[in-house]
C-alpha cells in the first residue's frame, strides 16, 4: 500500500483512532479494490470470508425471496463495513452483496483479521468492540424499521 493509500486507509471510520501500529498491522493485510456497479461481491449462503471497508459507492445487501426475486434489505455506503457474518460460529453470508454504484473499498481476508486478533488481544478487543458497534447500529436500524414510523397513524390505543 502506498503512503497515500495508508493515510486513506487510516482515515476510514472503522480504523480511525486506532494506534499507529494497529493501523499498520491492518493496512498490511488490506488491499484496495474497485468493484464495478452491478458486480456481485458475494452470494447469500456462501462461505463468509472477507471484510470490506467501503470508501465510496454503494453496496446493496439482498436476499432471494421466492416470487419476489432478490429483495434489497439494506444499503451500505462510504464509511460502512461490509461483511460481518464471518464472526458467526457458522460463517456463511446471511445476505448477498452487490455493488449498486461503482465501489472503492479496502478488503481484508477475515481469516487474516481473526489470526491477527488472536495474536494481538488488545487489537482483537478493539476490533471486536468496533464490529459490535456496527452490529448494534444495524440492529437498532432494523428495529426502527419494524416500527413502521411513516405509516398512517391508526386509532389511538391506550394501555
Contacting positions for another protein (CB under 8 A): 13, 58, 60, 68-69, 71-75, 77-80, 100, 137, 141, 144-145, 147-153
Q: How far is the CB of 5 from another protein (least distance, A)?
A: 21
Q: 25 or 100: whose CB is closer to another protein?
A: 100
What is the rounded distance in angstroms from the CA atom of residue 122 to the CA atom of residue 73? 34
Q: 28 or 144: whose CB is closer to another protein?
A: 144
Task: Name the grid cell of 52.
Answer: 470490506
Largest CA distance in the chain: 61
What DSSP string describes 104-142? EEEEE-HHHHHHHHHH-HHHHHHHHHHHHHHHHHHHHHH
Q: How far is the CB of 122 from another protein (least distance, A)?
A: 25
Q: How far is the CB of 3 from another protein (least distance, A)?
A: 24
Q: 20 or 149: whose CB is closer to another protein?
A: 149
Q: 104 or 117: whose CB is closer to another protein?
A: 104
Query: Which runs of consecutive H residues, i.e. helices, occur in the chain?
Result: 3-10, 20-27, 110-119, 121-147
Q: 64 or 75: whose CB is closer to another protein?
A: 75
Task: Name the grid cell of 97.
Answer: 452483496
Q: How far is the CB of 37 from another protein (least distance, A)?
A: 10
CB-CB contact of 31 with 9 (8 Å): no
Q: How far is the CB of 65 from another protein (least distance, A)?
A: 11
What is the rounded distance in angstroms from the CA atom of residue 77 to the CA atom of residue 97? 12
Amino acid at each position: 500500500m502506498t503512503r497515500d493509500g495508508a493515510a486513506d486507509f487510516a482515515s476510514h471510520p472503522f480504523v480511525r483512532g486506532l494506534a499507529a501500529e494497529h493501523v499498520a498491522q491492518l493496512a498490511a493485510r488490506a488491499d484496495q479494490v474497485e468493484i464495478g456497479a452491478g458486480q456481485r461481491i458475494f452470494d447469500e449462503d456462501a462461505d463468509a470470508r472477507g471484510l470490506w471497508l467501503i470508501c465510496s459507492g454503494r453496496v446493496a445487501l439482498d436476499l432471494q425471496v421466492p416470487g419476489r426475486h432478490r429483495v434489497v434489505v439494506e444499503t451500505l455506503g462510504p464509511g460502512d463495513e461490509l461483511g460481518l457474518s464471518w464472526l458467526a460460529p457458522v460463517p456463511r453470508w446471511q445476505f448477498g452483496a452487490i455493488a449498486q454504484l461503482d465501489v472503492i473499498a479496502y478488503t481484508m481476508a477475515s481469516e487474516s483479521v481473526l489470526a491477527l486478533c488472536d495474536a494481538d488481544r488488545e487489537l482483537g478487543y478493539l476490533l471486536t468492540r468496533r464490529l459490535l458497534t456496527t452490529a448494534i447500529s444495524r440492529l437498532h436500524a432494523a428495529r426502527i424499521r419494524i416500527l413502521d414510523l411513516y405509516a398512517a397513524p391508526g386509532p389511538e390505543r391506550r394501555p
